[in-house]
């Protein structure tokens, strides 16, 4: 479907935008033709890494490690299932961008009314800010642990990563991809090293990959976590809505001939390879995090599941599981490497979160602002709840402060559960569309079936976990009245989500039908 190019107004902070997705980098990366598989794959590699970052950000860490501490290897099957679903969704997102030359936000907005477009934009912005809170917390704690910078100052320092982003925008998109890949490798090597030292029970790990009825059971409760709540935490932290918007945009950075169907098909194929390889690395990282919870620490040894507690436990010989780990931990290297990986994770997410914010702002409401300005605004907003949390607990014991910050990070995932269906559902409907997919690139039957199962299952599980997420806002000692209020709020939200989903489905269906009729009319002229 064609789009009229907008005429941006110069010298304004906010400008009108209705052109190609991420116009400055769209179609800027040359790819070879007639080369071998590996060389071609190398040139297409990069967008998958930007997407994979969201699957291993600070929000994933505590859920995976605590899940391992509480239930051994049982929840590793949830990581596997989440990763496979992620591969399916990201494949569809990349295909949408490559074939239609529109990102998910643009394609959705082309079929929906202005009011729904604004609502979907706000929902996705909230999801990005919720993710940003986890990044602020992760980066600030890493700065505190590595350089002993007071936490409040460290939180403010995270705002200045906008300068890093400003620098990166000047060096070219291919170099940004390379930096992201290097940071991912840092994270991967750190956890491979720590798990290798721990000599885990690999038989138990393999057994854990097979889901059972106990995986999603509501009992037993260990440390306030049940298997179902642990599984929902992993799912909520793994499959994030903004990644679908991001992938549909950055998959368009490669220069291809859209009049050549074979060139389009090749780009879809190699982009899928890139995405699946990078998401496999994310799967390994998340699995290593859970294995750390089981094999690196003694069972039940981590009383403080926050990043502070994990850092401390990695240098505490009484918390570690074997002699080799204890010997290495005495040098302080285990805890330092953990903090370095945490900082790398936060910086990676900074890059991708900002790009996604620009994608949805341009796509849903046709507004554009410089990346540095956008980053500054969203980061300052995200910093506010963290500063409030730190100041309110300043007179409490360190453990209470850590618990409050960890709770804030976990509670921020509520918006992710709320926003997820509104990116998955349009993605599935759009990649089933004749208008956008031109017949050949429509989803195969098995993709449609697995796609609908994934959308329905993830939406159901997120809605099922919503009451518990709302209850968590009232703390561990909530009264019956507070729990009842939390449940009522959750049920109202669930009704609103279902109503908004129905509205979205109807609008998308009508919009697609209208565009199909217009397309057929033009073809007959």
Q: What is the pLDDT of residues 375-397, one digit of tens each?
A: 788 778 888 888 888 888 877 77
**Looking at residue 431, what is its pLDDT?**
94
Task: Say if 484 falls within a structural domain.
Answer: no
Q: CB–CB of 417/469 below 8 Å?
A: yes
421-430 vs 241-250: helix axis angle to the nearest 10?
Answer: 40
For the chain, the domain total comes to: 1
Query: What does the mean pLDDT of the chain come to?
Result: 83
Task: Say if 466 falls within a structural domain.
Answer: no
Whether pLDDT at 100 is above 60: yes
**Looking at residue 325, what is its pLDDT?**
76
Task: Say if 142 falls within a structural domain.
Answer: yes
φ, ψ for residue 18, nearest 5 deg: -150, 35
Task: Say if 483 falls within a structural domain.
Answer: no
Residue 170, domain extent: 19-390
What is the enclosing helix (H) or strand (E) of 376?
A: helix 371-392
**Looking at residue 3, what is its pLDDT?**
45
Whether pLDDT at 1 is above 60: no
Q: What is the pLDDT of residues 452-505, one digit of tens each?
A: 998 888 788 777 777 877 877 776 678 888 889 988 998 998 899 899 999 999
Query: What is the distance between the terminal CA atoms of the chain, rounded to a whole angstrom?
Result: 17
Task: Say if 207 falls within a structural domain.
Answer: yes
φ, ψ for residue 368, nearest 5 deg: -140, 140
Query: What distance in Å separates the CA atoms of residue 132 and residue 136, rounded to the nearest whole number?
Result: 6
Q: What is the pLDDT of residues 387-428, one digit of tens each?
A: 888 888 877 777 777 777 877 776 776 677 678 889 999 999
Closest CA to 60 of 214, 205, 245, 191: 191
The least confident of 33-47, 167-181, 183-197, 363-377 is 167-181
**Looking at residue 106, what is its pLDDT?**
93
Task: Say if 75 falls within a structural domain.
Answer: yes
Query: What distance in Å separates the CA atoms of residue 488 and residue 465, rounded to the nearest whole number?
Result: 14
What is the enclosing helix (H) or strand (E) of 56?
A: none
Question: Residue 179 is encoded by which pair of tokens?
Answer: 């930096």
Q: Which residues pair with 367 in a beta bridge?
A: 16
Task: Say if 406 falls within a structural domain.
Answer: no
């Amino acid at each position: 479907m064609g789009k009229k190019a907008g005429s941006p107004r110069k010298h304004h902070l906010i400008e009108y935008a209705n052109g190609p997705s991420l116009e400055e980098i769209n179609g800027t990366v040359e790819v070879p033709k007639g080369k071998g598989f590996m060389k071609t794959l190398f040139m297409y590699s990069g967008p998958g890494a930007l997407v994979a970052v969201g699957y291993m950000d600070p929000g994933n860490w505590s859920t995976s490690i605590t899940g391992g501490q509480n239930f051994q290897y049982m929840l590793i099957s949830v990581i596997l299932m989440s990763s496979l679903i992620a591969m399916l969704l990201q494949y569809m997102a990349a295909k949408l961008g490559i074939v239609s030359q529109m990102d998910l936000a643009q394609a959705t907005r082309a079929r929906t009314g202005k009011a729904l477009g604004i609502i979907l934009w706000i929902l996705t912005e909230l999801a990005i800010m919720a993710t940003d809170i986890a990044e602020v917390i992760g980066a600030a704690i890493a700065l505190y642990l590595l350089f002993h910078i007071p936490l409040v100052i460290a939180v403010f320092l995270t705002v200045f990563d906008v300068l890093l982003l400003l620098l990166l925008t000047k060096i070219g998109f291919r170099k940004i991809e390379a930096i992201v890949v290097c940071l991912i490798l840092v994270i991967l090597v750190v956890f491979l090293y720590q798990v290798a030292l721990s000599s885990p029970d690999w038989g138990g790990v393999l057994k854990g990959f097979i889901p059972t009825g106990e995986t999603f059971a509501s009992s037993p409760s260990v440390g306030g976590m049940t298997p179902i709540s642990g599984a929902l935490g992993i799912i909520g932290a793994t499959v994030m809505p903004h990644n679908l918007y991001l992938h549909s945009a950055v998959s368009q950075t490669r220069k291809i001939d859209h009049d050549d169907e074979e060139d389009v098909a090749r780009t879809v194929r190699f982009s899928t390879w890139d995405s699946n390889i990078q998401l496999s690395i994310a799967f390994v990282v998340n699995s290593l995090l859970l294995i750390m919870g089981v094999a690196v620490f003694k069972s039940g040894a981590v009383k403080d599941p926050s990043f502070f507690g994990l850092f401390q436990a990695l240098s505490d010989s009484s918390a570690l599981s074997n002699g080799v780990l204890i010997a290495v931990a005495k040098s302080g290297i285990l805890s330092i490497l953990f903090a370095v990986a945490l900082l790398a994770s936060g910086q990676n997410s900074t890059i991708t979160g900002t790009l996604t914010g620009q994608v949805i702002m341009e796509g849903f409401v046709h507004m554009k602002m410089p990346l540095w300005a956008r980053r500054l605004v969203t980061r300052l907003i995200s910093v506010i709840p963290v500063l409030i949390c730190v100041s309110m607990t300043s007179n409490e014991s360190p453990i209470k402060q850590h618990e409050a910050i960890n709770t804030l990070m976990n509670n921020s995932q509520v918006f992710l559960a709320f926003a997820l269906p509104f990116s998955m559902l349009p993605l599935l409907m759009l990649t089933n569309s004749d208008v956008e997919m031109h017949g050949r690139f429509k989803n195969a039957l098995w993709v449609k079936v697995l796609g609908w199962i994934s959308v329905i299952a993830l939406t159901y599980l997120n809605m099922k976990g919503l009451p518990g997420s709302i209850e968590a806002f009232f703390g561990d000692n909530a009264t019956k009245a507070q729990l009842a209020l939390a449940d009522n709020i959750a049920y109202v939200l669930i009704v609103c989500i279902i109503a908004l989903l129905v509205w979205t489905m109807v609008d998308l269906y009508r919009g697609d039908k209208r565009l199909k009729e217009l397309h057929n009319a033009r073809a007959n002229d």
